[in-house]
Amino acid sequence: MIDADDLIALVRNYNPKTNAPLIAEAFAYGQKMHDGQNRHSGEPYFTHPVAVAAILTEQKLDDATIITALLHDTIEDTGSTYSEIEAKFGSEIAELVDGVTKLTNLQLSSTETKQAENFRKLFIAMSKDLRVILVKLADRLHNMRTIRSMRVDKQAQKARETMDIFAPLAGRMGMQWMREELEDLAFRVLYPDARNSIIRRFITLQRETGDVIQKITADIEGELEKAGIQAETFGRAKKPHSIWRKMQEKDIGFSRLSDIYGFRILVNSEADCYAALGAVHQRWRSVPGRFKDYISQPKSNGYRSIHTTVSGRDGKRVEVQIRTQVMHEVAEAGVAAHWSYRDGVRAANPFAVDPAAWIATLTERFDEEDHDEFLEHVKLEMYADQVFCFTPKGEVVKLPRGATPLDFAYAIHTRIGDSCVGAKVDAIRVPLWTRLKNGQSVEIMTAEGQRPQATWIDIVATGRAKAAIRRSLREEDRERFIKLGRELVRVAFEHVGKRATEKALTTAAKRLSFDDRDTLLARIGSAEFTARQVIETLYPELAHKTGEEIDAARAIVGLKPSQTFRRAACCQPVPGERIVGISYRGKGVIIHAIDCEALAELSEDSGRWVDLHWQEGRHPAAHAVSFDLTIANDSGVLGRICTLIGEQGANISDLVFIDRKPDFFRLIVDAELRDIEHLHAVMLALEADSDVAAITRHRDLGRKP
């Protein structure tokens, strides 16, 4: 472990005006508070906060951040308090330490807490002061570097959390070096065999081809020298995890990967960036579709660079990044460049973004989304690469790679997205699912009265568009579900000789803990709740007045006392039908109708067949049966059909439209029936109705028993 003087020396290298006494005091305080505590490796615990502080000095961060790193575990793991830290080191540092403590207590990968809600809290903490997440990322990096001393199960949990959350977050903040190291450390834990295999292939490749990196670096330097461009060139093999990810995405082996080497050219000016690009493209053939200009269109985290992929020596593809030294500083530090120092003063890097503005772009509209949508949006934003498209007026719209014209429309305004009916890309009409490319001009066509379609969810790529579409669909569905729920309730009430008055529904909603009667009706219309439950709540004596009925648990004859049973979902047998039981290990006995086509697959396995029959007597109307109905698309028809089913003493438990035509609807209706006679009575009544074009019993062999 380095001592206080060594740490202060690291800070002085980039900030000669550092408050050395305050850092020394924080070092002594942290060491005292953690005295007697050890890490899993057996080392004194304070070695960890010191290592975190040292990592942050590599990013040339301010004194407050370095001191926060030294104290980041004191409130959580020692007797220290917020007020004590505030008294000794000031409110700024106390706020930062408290923020890191709250982040540490968020179980981001926990199955016991709502991950999306914790993500929201994470971003709220980031929005207050982004330095909190910088300390947390350095904390995670050191923990991953020393993860071997932890229990194996804990290693896997931390590695998965790192891969899913902290590594992409570091990348989204522009700290690509940290993202790559976090990914590789997690990769080592999660997939050690895959990582070792890739490393062995690299060693073999180097033995066969020699030092390719040195040769290609020399080639690039030669071309730049010929063009009279002063530059530094660096080359490296890509990290094992990056290579493994490419192998997974492209479903190819290591030997077929071409761009496993990356090179970086640092020049003196923006003009030299484009001159260097010209020199590289003159010497080597560029790979189509692999060029990105982040200088003319910077990323939202301040990143600027030119990326190109060329066919280099011996036809090997290599990626080349070209940038200035000032751009490189932001590329290495990302959003953290806002706090970095040079020669004792805050670095005035023109490309460093304002952290408040950056976090605002990342969390835009999140307050309008529910927690699960928030989580989806965050992950999309963190993993997204970007494309830049133009409006017809030449304004730039930034979108993640894979975005469509619908995403473009919603990026302009929700109203434009909701009313979108078509799009032109570079003046050519294209389908809404077209994937946009860099530099394309997009024109959105709208129509009054157009509403988002459910299929749009699968077309769009941005969290903003997905959230807006879901919100619109919910509003539209709610009105439809309320209307259907009201009809189902009316039928259920009439069945017991009652009227579904507004007062009765309001009372039922209150007793069932719904916000209002419309919410209750919407839940009934969407089949999340049943009208029967409303009757049972308001009129329990009527709901249960069914005469002498057979107990549903004793409906089957022929089972052993210890055997449980349930009806097969594929054929939905009802009392009165001939049945057979099939025994399943761990599932008990599944009851099939004797004519169920699923039994053909089990004809050779007669040892599992159980001879059964239904109990004689009156069964409750509790056996769900599905009907495939085609009815006229006319005013009041659906309501009358629901009434007709209710008049036969059957309760509708679900209703799903599977086809809508201008003149006919086709739908699957689930009704709760007593027995086979009840089934025939319902089907006969429906078949006799003039607005029912067809009715069959719906049996779905694709459903599991």
In the chain, what's the furthest Cα-to-Cα distance? 100
| Half-sphere exposure in the Cβ direction for 37 (13 Å, CA) | 18
Tokens of 480: 């439809």
Taking CA atoms, 21 is separated from 7, 8, 11, 49, 75, in Å, by: 12, 9, 12, 18, 22
190 near 348, Cβ under 8 Å? Answer: no
At a CB cut-off of 8 Å and minimum separation 6, what does 228 contact? none
100 near 382, Cβ under 8 Å? Answer: no
Taking CA atoms, 158 is separated from 37, 180, 187, 417, in Å, by: 21, 16, 11, 40
319 near 264, Cβ under 8 Å? Answer: no
* Interatomic CA distance for residues 350 and 147, integer angstroms: 38
695 near 628, Cβ under 8 Å? Answer: yes
Q: Is the dihedral of CA 563, 569, 574, 579 positive or negative?
A: negative
Catalytic (active-site) positions: 76-77
286 near 308, Cβ under 8 Å? Answer: yes
* Residue reference for tokens 């006679």: 677
* Interatomic CA distance for residues 159 and 676, integer angstroms: 57
H or E, element range at 489: helix 463-495
Q: What are phi and psi of 279, to 5 degrees?
A: -65, -40
* DSSP code of residue 606: G
* Interatomic CA distance for residues 505 and 569, integer angstroms: 33
* Interatomic CA distance for residues 305 and 170, integer angstroms: 18
Q: What are phi and psi of 582, to 5 degrees?
A: -120, 125
Tell me the H-state helices in 34-166. Answer: 47-57, 63-71, 74-77, 82-89, 91-105, 115-128, 131-145, 152-161
At a CB cut-off of 8 Å and minimum separation 6, what does 139 contact? 48, 52, 69, 72, 100, 104
* Ramachandran bin of 324, using left for φ above 0, alpha for ψ from -120 to 50, beta for the remaining angles: beta
